[in-house]
Structure 1
Amino acid sequence: MARIIGGIGTSHVPTIGLAYDKKRQNDPAWAPLFEGYKPVAKWLEEKKPDVLLFFYNDHANSFFFDCYPTFSIGVSPEFEMADEGAGRRPLPGVKGHAKLAAHVTDCLVNDEFDMAVFQDRDLDHGCNSPLGLMWPHEPTWPGAILPIAINVLQHPLPTARRCFKLGQAVRRAVESYPEDLTVVIVGTGGLSHQIHGERTGFNDTDWDEEFLRLFVEKPEALMNMTHAELIRRGGAESAEVIMWMAMRGALTNKINCVHQNHYLATTTNMAVAIYEQDEASGPPPAPVKTISNSELAGVEEIEGTYAFDVPHSVKALNLNRFFWRHREPAFRELVMRDLEAAFDELKLTEEERQLVRNKDWLGLVKYGVSFFVLEKFARVQRMSNLEVYARMRGETLEEFLKTRRVPESA
């Protein structure tokens, strides 16, 4: 089974990444910050985790306010680094762990956390700013990451207590994963800072010290704080420490801080800390699950039924996107004019191309295509949904309509 071996709390200030990229590690203005991350890098080198599970937030780079989820989980096999307006950071892409991510997604939703699920969304400084300081990455990273994004931009934010409970649910999910994996939980954000309004530049390092103490000794006190209280004590943007609370919830009741550093240079008190667990104070390990999504147990016994789940969505992402893009007039025209060019644009595999060429409706569903994008392709092929239904059943339209209560309604 998978197990959690500790936690890391870290700021994710974008200038950390910028200073790193400009090789300012020995600059007197930045050395105190970089020195604070060296014990973290050494700890990770010794522990050799397979996965870093990141609680982070996206700063309107891969998500926007037309649809900004409260909790979302990344299930892609790999992630790229976001371009935030000045070009992509010179870091390699990092592997995801799609199987663990799918399992955690199933478990969290069944644990009544309604997660949004994302793929092909680049990771911005909320994740990549501290990542480069903690893990070697030339030419590649030593493990995978599992990103869980939390809304800390647009109120209402999830409460500190809700984030703590999310962390507890994540622990249950990770421990129930059947494969042997070691996981480190990373909570990002903070500490004290405000970057808007007349209060811009506010800091309170005394509060930061108190927060770090309560985080270890009395997390309940932090869970009881409202967002307004967090803002009053640490500044408006410091409310993002609720992501640390998610990490705290994923650890045992008692933890030990084995390393801590914070450094206030300009606008944010940049902190990093390592937390090891008192295993005796934790709940009993969650039982390993033979099926991640218990709500679907037995569905395979229902004849002619194929559940569209996260693994199928990951497998068939490009193919689903091919059909989804039939919403676009220009892409529809390309499909009708040069189908192979449309395939190339979506980088479809030969197996996927053949399924489309053959209009193998049932084969497409079995492969992992959602019917609700597939029907857009049917429109371009001038076929009704009823005709597609009939084809999937191996019938003519007339034969299918004879099985309907009111065939004349077609």
Structure 2
Amino acid sequence: MSRIVLGVGASHSTLMNTNWDEVAHRDDARRFRAGLGEARELVEAARPDAVVVIGSNHFRGFFLDLMPAFTVGVAECVGSGESGTPGGPLPVDTDLARKLMWSLSDADFDAAFSLRLQVDHGITHALQYLLPDLDVPMVPVVMNMFAPPLPSLARCDAFGTVLRRAIESDGQDKRVLVVASGGLSHRLPWPKWFSAMSDDDRFLVEAWLNGRDSWKDYEVRRRQIIRAAEADINPEFDRRFLELLLEGDLSEIVAKSSAEIEEEAGNGAQEIRSWVAMSRALGAAKGRVLAYEPIDTWITGMAVAVLEPLPGT
């Protein structure tokens, strides 16, 4: 049977690509990037045959005309290529992806699937820094983390259980890496789609609804809005989350509602759903935090952590 050999959680920020010169002199930014480098070395040592990447989509592949809670890419997958992230066709492990879809269906998950999935940095940022050669086939899993109502944290936890079962029952002998992309605490200047008030709010909702064939037309103003936002990071929340992750028990977090997460750690913290699913898929594991830095310039609590399955699990 196939097995999970390593789990990695990594925050993402396209500002690390487009505005690195602004922070290259700062110790916190260098420490975070060094943490990604250490994680990349661990990935190389784990020799994965496939990688499952769980992340979000920032309205460059999914839009308000159709927003599934969970989507698995089972065939063609294309990176948007925004802000210096990988663009164009990405390799997909179609066999493992289809196995995951069947396992989700058998577990009464009504997940969507796509034979032509477009992903943005919610998936590709992790690939760029952990698997820069893009030579390991992946299974992209996109969770809705920005357009409420969101899948509950408990549902994302259950997704991790099904993912583990799918990998272990695929009839293959693959070494599988599971990557969680996104988080931790941060607050984006994004409105609720049902309560847009300011001109910027209405512009963003229009972009999220009508951008399927023209998302690039909205990019300049979108980035201006994000760059103008003040950082709202909660290091206490982040450090507690990482502590629980290493303890192997995220039940304290999973019990929280989406509203509680947003109030405590910002709407961007909803991306911890990917970490919750990854942790559950790993099961009993030993973990390390390779970096945690609340980087105001990137408006995000930036973390890198790894989980290694305990022998015999």
TM superposition score normalised by structure 2:
0.80
What is aligned with 2:95? 99
Secondary structure at the aligned position of 1:37 is classed as helix
- 2:225 corresponds in structure 1 to none
Instruction: Rate the CA distance shift 1:269–1:163 in 2: closer, same or farther, 3 A.
Output: same
Q: How many residues align?
A: 271
Give the match's secondary structure for 1:126. helix
Alpha-carbon distance, 1:25 to partner = 11
- Equivalent in the alignment of 1:244: 275
Deviations 1:13-44 (A, max 9, x none): 2223435xx7x599223422211111111101
**Distance in 1 between residues matched to 2:279 and 2:300, nearest whole Å:** 21
Query: Does structure 2 retain, via aligned residues, the 8 Å contact 1:16–1:129?
Result: no
1:194-343, aligned counterparts within 5 Å? Answer: 194-196=187-189, 200-217=230-247, 218-252=249-283, 254-265=284-295, 266=297, 267-280=299-312, 282=313
AA matched with 1:6 = L
Which aligned pairs between 1:158-177 and structure 2 lie closer than 5 A? Answer: 158-177=151-170
Q: Structure 1 residues 269 and 69 mapped into 2: Cα distance closer, same or farther (>3 Å)?
A: same
Higher relative contact order (CA 8 A, sep 6+): 2
Percent identity between matched residues is 28
How far apart, CA to CA, are the structure 1 residues paired with 2:232 and 2:288? Answer: 28
Contact 2:68 2:144 in 1 (8 A): yes
Aligned mate of 2:179, from 171, 183, 186 = 186
Distance, in Å, in 2 between the alignment partners of 1:90 and 1:117 is: 22
Contact 1:55–1:188 (8 Å) recurs in 2: yes
Partner of 1:28: 25
Larger Rg: 1
Change (3 A) 1:43 1:122: same
Q: Is the 1:11–1:270 contact (alpha carbons within 8 Å) kept by the matching residues of 2?
A: yes
Check whether the contact 2:12–2:182 (CA below 8 A) recurs between aligned residues.
yes
Kindly provide the amino acid, as one letter, of the partner of residue 14 in structure 1.
T
Q: What residue number does 2:119 align with?
A: 123
Alpha-carbon distance in structure 2 between the residues aligned to 1:237 and 1:211:
14
Three-state SS of the structure 1 residue aligned to 2:118 is coil
Hey, what does 1:302 align to over in structure 2? none
Distance 2:50 2:287 in 1: 21
User: Per-residue displacement from partner, 1:267-292 (whole Å, max 9, x unpaired)?
Assistant: 10111111112244x4xxxxxxxxxx
- Matched residues in 1 for 2:56 and 2:187: separation? 16
- Relative distance call for 1:134 and 1:89 in structure 2 (3 A) is closer
Closer/same/farther in 2, CA of residues 197 and 46 from structure 1, 3 Å limit: closer
> What's the counterpart of residue 78 of structure 2?
80
Name the SS of the counterpart of 1:120 in structure 2: strand
Partner of 2:137 in structure 1? 144
Cα distance in 1 for partners of 2:311, 2:23 equals 38
Deviation of 1:121 (Å): 2.2
2:153/2:256 contact within 8 Å kept? yes
Shift of 1:151: 0.5
Check the 8 A contact 1:39/1:259 in 2, yes or no: no
Deviation at 1:146, TM superposition (A): 0.4
Q: Distance in 2 between matches of 1:79 and 1:157?
A: 23
Give the secondary-structure state (helix, strand or coil) at the position aligned to 2:4: strand
CA positional deviation for 1:200: 4.8
Partner deviation per Cα, 1:196-247 (whole Å, 9 max, x = no partner): 2799521111211011011232311111111122112211221221111111
TM-aligned CA distance change 1:229 to 1:26, over 3 Å: closer
CA contact (8 A) 1:9 1:274 kept: yes
- Counterpart CA distance in 1 for 2:92 and 2:105 is 20
**Aligned equivalents of 1:181 and 1:169: distance in 2?**
17
Gapped regions of structure 1 (runs ≥ 5): 283-410
Query: Counterpart of 1:367?
Result: none
> Any conservation in 1 of the 2:86–2:128 contact (CA below 8 Å)?
no
1:307-339 Cα shifts (integer Å, max 9, x gaps): xxxxxxxxxxxxxxxxxxxxxxxxxxxxxxxxx
Deviation, structure 1 residue 255? 2.0
Q: CA deviation at 1:83?
A: 4.3
Q: State the distance in 1 between where 2:22 and 2:117 align.
A: 29
| 1:75 alignment partner AA | V
Counterpart CA distance in 1 for 2:230 and 2:65 is 27
Cα pair 1:25 1:34 within 8 Å, conserved = no
8 A contact 1:17–1:132 mirrored in 2:
no
